[in-house]
Amino acid sequence: MRWFKPNLRSSIYAIFGSGLPEGPSVTRIDVVDMEVVRAEMLALLDGAEGERVPSLRRRIAYAGEIQGLWFLRGELMAVLANLHGETVARELIGEVSQLFDGLVPEGLRSRPSPLGG
């Protein structure tokens, strides 16, 4: 009969360990890339007016993670579509989306549509 199970050692280490889980490491390169994306998104809003623009500008400026900026692309698209038209807005968002390469998980990336030519 075993009194000490193999998991006991790991549970003791868990009790007396640092207690902080390993989180994703953020490198300086990621922060610089995020600031480039943020600046590009804010530059697209120059000259835009409307009731949604100040809120969107603030949310882009204070987004804490690259995923936050990724999800703000939809609102940016809506504002740009009102300003320039949908075709131009789609091209601009496509350029911004390319800046996210390697910064967001692949699961967040949009898949190519079989309908898009």
Which residue in 106, 45, 23 sits closest to 70, CA to CA? 106
Is the pLDDT at 18 greater than 80? The verdict is no
Among 102, 95, 96, 97, smallest CA distance to 30 is for 102
Which is higher by pLDDT, 113 or 80? 80
Each residue's pLDDT tens digit, 19-70: 545 555 556 657 778 899 999 999 999 988 888 999 999 999 999 899 999 9
Which token pair is 12?
A: 């003791």
Q: What pTM does this model have? A: 0.69
What residue has token string 């409307």?
50
CA 61 distance to own-chain centroid:
13
The pLDDT tens digits for 43-55 are: 999 988 888 999 9
